[in-house]
Amino acid sequence: MLAYFRAISIVLFGSVYYRQLAYDVLGLFASRVLPVVMLIALVGGGLGIANEKKWGFRLAAAAALYSVVATLWIGIRYDAELLGFLLRLMFDLVLVVLLLHPHSNGYRRIWFS
């Protein structure tokens, strides 16, 4: 559910964080394509997890890790607004922790073996 929430927040509130990191590192084309890729990765990862597919965990975890990196990049490099930065970072970190926690790994081993 949290992956779906993050995908909806990309649609509703924009994707400035993902665009800026991609623009700074990869250039203009990547900054236009990467938010769409993140949206597809979060929704696809959520669907994969819901349907008990291995690629769902991998896709959601990769998208969540990139989201944390992008949030930290903007927060540190551009001195983002503190409250918005902390809220975004909190949701990103919660998603990463829930996906990579040992209980999630145990669940994945039981159902996807």
Q: Which pLDDT score is estimated for 104?
A: 66
* Element at 108 (helix H, strand E): helix 102-111
* DSSP codes, 27-75: -HHHHHHHHHHHHHHHHHHHHHHHTT-HHHHHHHHHHHHHHHHHHHHHH
Q: Which pLDDT score is estimated for 24?
A: 77
Give yes or no for residue 105 having a pLDDT over 80.
no
Give the global pTM.
0.79
Note whether 35 and 19 are within 8 A (CB): yes
Taking residues 94-112, report their average pLDDT.
73
Per-residue pLDDT tens for 19-46? 777 777 777 777 778 888 888 999 999 8
Per-residue pLDDT tens for 50-84? 888 888 888 999 999 988 888 888 888 877 678 87
| Segments making up each domain of the chain, as ranges | 2-111
Give yes or no for residue 113 having a pLDDT over 60.
no
